[in-house]
Amino acid sequence: MNREQLIKNINKKKSLLCVGLDTDIEKIPQCLLNTDNPVLAFNKSIIDATKDFAIAYKINTAFYEAQGIKGWETIQKTLEYIPQDIFTIADAKRGDIGNTSEQYAKTFFKTYPFHSVTVAPYMGEDSVKPFLQFKDNWTIVLGLTSNNGSRDFQLQQCGNEMLYEKVLQTVAGWGNPENLMFVVGATRKEQLQHVRSLLPEHFFLIPGVGAQGGDVATVCENAMNKDGGILINVSRGIIYAGSGDDFAEKAKDAAKDYQRQMAVYL
């Protein structure tokens, strides 16, 4: 999916919502546990309930890889079930020496045809560039995250700038706003403003809304650009909005509420 198609879908749905399918089998409603594949059944119900409000789905591969072969099969079947006009993200946080990154890129752009994959930039340019060679696919690079551990490295001084600033501006030169996004946490208003000033054209994938304390208004007011420019990820706040037989209905209500909050800014 290219940038033009993504922007068109944002404007059509009046939404910036990315639904995170961080599906934990221990949190799936009891009513699904007797099905052949409870995780897949859950994902399908969530997708059916939220697809009118979501412009993206993010599959956190860790929750599936932990299930072995069946987990990878669930990734494939979930990906196939997502409507083709909705942006898909493999939240895999890969990144290694060049020839290894080439295989990771093939995994998530060919074998499992996601539109995008998250990438860790710590090993430098040759670990990121292989992902950027695929036309109409996106590389989403970790920039400034919202977890407590971000203080250990990202927020440390590096010469005249913070390390995260150096990472953002350096990596931006390896691609362009048509194929490169950045992960930017939602919990810091001032830093959202600052990152947007550094990268006025790029899309940001923004976690941290909902369970982690971020809110839609703060994100939209400080991180949007003329094209929307952000994908606001909500995982637990939507997929676990309900735990009973009506879990899908509760998820739909939550997704609709988030979309309404976002529509004000579009």
Catalytic residues: 93
Pick from 76, 197, 179: which is nearest to 129 by CA?
179
> Which H helix or E strand runs over 189?
helix 189-198
Q: Which amino acid is at 201?
A: E
DSSP structure class, residue 214? B
Residue 59, beta-bridge partner list:
90
CA 111 remoteness from chain centre:
19
Tell me 124's DSSP state: -
Q: Which of 104, 106, 135, 134 is nearest to 119 (CA)?
A: 104
3-state class (DSSP) for residue 135: coil
CA count, 13 A, side-chain hemisphere, 133:
15
Token pair, residue 164, equals 């995260």
